[in-house]
Structure 1
């Protein structure tokens, strides 16, 4: 087993280093991290507007009796306004933030790179797809525009040198003036050529042909299983699995959450089961590998093991808020063959159960993005806006405790034998 783990580490660590330090993926990940609070409040606003509690709509209608000309209650405009300021302009945020982050990684002026990226996104028709529909195009245009800007800004003939003493921000603006103009002009030319060939808006066409089918493909049981398996598998070898796949996860998550919110607002059933809220609510309780269940299992069957009980006592507080590095490296779980099976395959079992029950409509679809520090079970209630979600989270947590128990017993016996030697 040790030789197997050594071989896996040798193969995975170089790959992880490449992905973990890849500047474009880092720019995307950090951009999503910046707008995460807006995704949370936007999804929550839509959920409150359409809260499926008997009498809630009538109660709110009586308190805020004024209605608009089209007959819609005025109190719902608050949620609509919040959506407009979050999901409604998500792609605009991403276009700027990716440009800013990528520019900074190249030691460029991040604001200028972000402005160029945003202007390019607008030039290609991005204002039509400012919501999550334009997310893929915003990412592609953001990366390409900054790469072009970086290349052009290195051409001396295009540089406008300012005298010493001019503020750095002003100097950067003039030095990048012609490169910025050229990049935006080229993107605008591409948009004109697309129009000539019968593509009035690339975002709408791309969404219908590629992005929407991609979302449907990933919102399946095999996708749920893969996304549940990869993070703990990487973590087992000491690689931060959640961070590794976060850029890819968010490409699924953001459009899926936005589409679910739009469906709810239109009185339709949300269709995208697999999203970040799904994993946060039903799988990653206590962190990757559902390690809060491991801590409970240790308290149940290995209280007399001083090392394990001490680590568990120190880890339970952070674990309640889904911070599990203390137990991952303290117990440890990383490179510990005893815990490989429950840590890696337990989440697969939980995601399968949650997917099947949600698909059978026994549990509402997770439609609200919850803060990643939301405690277990509470997250299930908030993500699905239902008691059923909390019940499923509690069931999965209990099941995971039972899965961990026999492996905790084995680890405890191994510690006892080691002490006897």
Structure 2
């Protein structure tokens, strides 16, 4: 292990540091990390909405619209907050007006992503005619669009400033007023550019990615180990890019997942044993055996964070532990962050791949039955795995085995990340 860690440190660390130190990468990380308080609070409300207790759903049904609000306006529009944070972070690097650049990044993201819907008098539950914006397009599924829009918007602003393509106010004008007028021309260029891209050329980044994935549909179906590995790899890879992996994959894989678990449930209800069901790669197979703590099996990483010497990492681990137990890992994905992090990205992708192979072997060998129930995703993995396989204790054992595998894979990369963070903390103390 020591030789392996030394090899990674010597070969990977210099490249990782160079990549992570790049100004746009830093802006993305800082902007996304700024959303951490929102994702943590929103995650707890998500848990509150999905407590698996008999009668609980009926009890909270009258209050769903109220309880759901904090989650929708935190995690539900995460990309909107990230757009502002990324724009302001990059502006700080260039020593530009952070407030103006943050707002410019936000409007660029909105124009490029959200299409206003026309409301007519004949539509149900509408108070008056007009137009409305759907917040569904502002979630983490659009984070990649927010990143691109924010970086491009600030670069346009910087270019206009460097080329003096701005409106200058006389001396003596308050700075906030001067900055506002200075941003007029860059704002016009940014809005016009993204308006043309979205409305004239009708180009949508998220939709384009989904269309590119459609040819994979046949490969991802059935009980193919290759198909399962492709699904796992793509979901984790998109998360590393800052894109909500399941949201991007949903148009392709969701119908298959729903069909396979429904078929398993129907055949099980007819009297077939769980070990004889037809479909292995249901969503529940990945949820309980692979996504332990969320996509990327991040509960293992959170547990490592709890023993870190870095105060930031240790504090983050404490904050992310409870959401992680309930399979909500946006706080650690965006808080560490794992997004755009060349060190943590490797185990985030590799660990689930190994866990998928191990789980597949356990299943085809008959040691673990197939999934016969569709439970709330917020159930802790060992309990949910046992319940979903007709109370197979071996399924719970497999979860523990996979968790240990994830710990082992994450450990050397965690130590690299910890060392990097400790150096930053020591540098901050020296400056202070």
Mind listing any 5+ residue stretches in structure 2 that lack a counterpart?
115-132, 221-225, 263-281, 322-348, 410-432
Q: CA offsets per residue over residues 15-45 of structure 1, 9 Å max, x none?
A: 1121120222222222222223433443443
Give the equivalent residue in structure 2 for 1:251. Answer: 243
Q: Trace 1:335-374 onto structure 2 (pairs within 5 A).
A: 353=358, 360-361=370-371, 367=377
Corresponding position: 1:193 with 2:200: yes
Q: SS in structure 1 opposite 2:301?
A: coil
**Alignment partners' CA distance in 2, 1:33 and 1:403:** 26
Aligned twin of 2:208: 206
Alpha-carbon shift at residue 394 of structure 1 (Å): 7.9
Shift of residue 225, structure 1, vs aligned partner? 7.9
Distance 1:86 1:284, change over 3 A: same
Tell me the equivalent position of 1:107: 95
Q: Any conservation in 1 of the 2:111–2:194 contact (CA below 8 Å)?
A: yes
Q: Mean alpha-carbon deviation: is it higher for 394-403 or for 46-55?
A: 394-403
Distance 1:213 1:96, change over 3 A: farther
Match of 1:92 among 80, 84, 89: 80
DSSP-derived class of the 1:149 partner? helix
2:28–2:86 contact (8 Å) kept in structure 1: yes
Identify the residue that residue 155 of structure 1 maps to in structure 2.
Answer: 163
Work out whether residues 91 and 135 of structure 1, in 8 Å CA contact, stay in contact via their aligned partners in 2. Answer: yes
Shift of 1:380: 5.3
> Within 5 A, what are the aligned runs for 1:49-64?
49-58=49-58, 60=59
- In the TM superposition, what is the alpha-carbon distance from 1:102 to its structure 2 partner? 1.5
Q: State the partner residue of 1:142.
A: 150
- The equivalent residue for 1:304 is none
Q: Contact 2:301 / 2:407 at 8 angstroms: preserved in 1?
A: no
The secondary structure found in structure 2 opposite 1:118 is helix
**Residues 281-320 of structure 1 aligned to structure 2 (within 5 Å):** 282-284=299-301, 286-287=303-304
- Runs (4 or more) in structure 1 with deviation over 6 Å come to 1-7, 211-219, 225-228, 256-259, 317-320, 344-348, 354-359, 362-366, 381-384, 386-390, 400-404
Give the 3 Å change call, closer, same or farther, for CA 363–146 of structure 1 in structure 2: farther
1:22-41 equivalences in 2 (<5 Å)? 22-41=22-41
Deviations 1:140-189 (A, max 9, x none): 1111111111111212242414414x433332222222222222122223
CA distance in 1, matches of 2:113, 2:352: 41
Structure-2 residue corresponding to 1:124? 112
Q: Give the aligned length.
A: 312
What is residue 65 of structure 2 aligned with on the other side? 77
Larger Rg: 1
Counterparts of 2:55 and 2:383 in 1: how far apart (Å)?
A: 19
Corresponding residue of 1:372: none
Partner of 1:180: 187
The structure-2 alpha-carbon separation of the partners of 1:383 and 1:182, relative to structure 1 and needing over 3 Å to count, comes to farther
Task: Supply the distance in 1 between the matched residues of 2:244 and 2:227 (Cα, whole angstroms).
Answer: 8
- Tell me which residue corresponds to 2:12: 12
Contact 2:90–2:154 (CA under 8 A) maintained in structure 1? yes
How far residue 284 of structure 1 moved from its aligned partner, in angstroms, is 2.4
Instruction: Give 1:210 deviation, angstroms.
Output: 4.6
* Residues 383 and 138 of structure 1: CA distance in aligned 2, closer, same or farther (over 3 Å): farther
Q: Give the alignment's TM-score, normalised by structure 1.
A: 0.55
Q: Does structure 2 retain, via aligned residues, the 8 Å contact 1:29–1:247?
A: no
SS in 2 for 1:153: helix
- Change in Cα spacing, 1:220 to 1:113, as seen in structure 2 (3 Å) is farther
Match of 1:277, SS state, is: coil
